[in-house]
Amino acid sequence: MVTKLDKKSHDLRAKILADPDAVLEDHDVMRALINAKPESGGRKVVDLRGALVDRLETRLDKLENTHRSVIAAAYENLAGTSQIQKAVLMLLEQPRFVDFLRVLTLETPDMVAVDFARLCIETDEAEPGPVQGLDRELAEAMIVVPPGGVDAYLELGGGGVRKVALRQAAPEADAIFGEAARWVRSEALVRLDLGKRRQGLLVFGAEDPHRFGPEHGVDLLSFFGGVVERQLRHWLYPGE
């Protein structure tokens, strides 16, 4: 004959059925249940030990995955910091603007693990496009854009104007990367303040569509951009 549960037992049973995790996650309750002796009469007893072990194994797996992710992120950040520091030191060592430009646009990409770099400068004193008077590689890497061109490119895709933007490559990327645009799948944009309402834009392009994205940090790029804009003021607008 089945004994009718009193109201207190019924309420307790209902609470456990409604939220079994409250039992499994309470160490004191689980210890008491595991140590309890089953009543005589051959009743079936739920294997609470097995349930607890399964829960602990799941937690351990999640904890290990979290630790691996944190360690991987730390190593990636450390490597990125070292790469940026190396690039900054090389930029500061250059005796001429053309050497600075070569390091920035042609050598820095290899140091920071990207595929392309472009430097855009706003001016109304020259025709938009590659700068004349430079060798072919540098001419492709330094682009003149009309006033407002930097903000216009930053606003593509609806992301607004920010100091640093990481995104999938814009369909209009050919205006920046030229023929290389067909290989660019993601890009990092660093707006440069050149003083007196002048702006520049440093653009890194990657063939990997996941190299740059809004989920990535921007601190290192912000720092690098600050170094570049100060050097550009020194080279392009001395005495200001």
Q: Are residues 130 and 80 part of one domain?
A: no
The answer to the question of residue 137 being in a domain is yes
The answer to the question of residue 190 being in a domain is yes
Which is more confidently placed, 136 or 93? 93
Tell whether the model's pLDDT for residue 75 goes beyond 60.
no
pLDDT of residue 79: 58
For residue 150, the domain's CATH number is 3.30.450.40
Return the minimum-mean-pLDDT range out of 24-38, 75-89, 118-132. 24-38
- Prediction pTM value: 0.67
What's the average model confidence in pLDDT over 74-86?
A: 70
Q: Are residues 134 and 55 part of one domain?
A: no
Tell whether the model's pLDDT for residue 27 goes beyond 60.
yes
Q: Are residues 111 and 50 part of one domain?
A: no
The answer to the question of residue 40 being in a domain is no
Tell whether the model's pLDDT for residue 50 goes beyond 90.
no
Q: 103: domain range?
A: 94-236
The answer to the question of residue 75 being in a domain is yes
The string of pLDDT tens digits covering residues 95-125 is 999 999 999 999 999 998 899 999 999 987 6
Q: Are residues 137 and 50 part of one domain?
A: no
Q: Are residues 225 and 122 part of one domain?
A: yes
pLDDT of residue 1: 41
Q: Are residues 162 and 69 part of one domain?
A: no
Which is more confidently placed, 4 or 130? 130
What's the average model confidence in pLDDT over 145-174?
A: 86
pLDDT of residue 41: 44
The string of pLDDT tens digits covering residues 180-222 is 999 999 999 999 999 888 899 999 999 999 888 888 888 889 9
Q: Provide the number of structural domains found in the chain.
A: 2
Mean pLDDT of the chain: 79
Among 88, 104, 121, the domain-final residue is 88
pLDDT of residue 168: 92
pLDDT of residue 69: 58
> Quick one: what percent of the chain has pLDDT higher than 70?
70
pLDDT of residue 100: 94
Q: Are residues 198 and 227 part of one domain?
A: yes
Q: Are residues 61 and 148 part of one domain?
A: no
Q: Are residues 175 and 65 part of one domain?
A: no
Adjacent-strand bridge partners of 96: none
Q: Are residues 137 and 51 part of one domain?
A: no
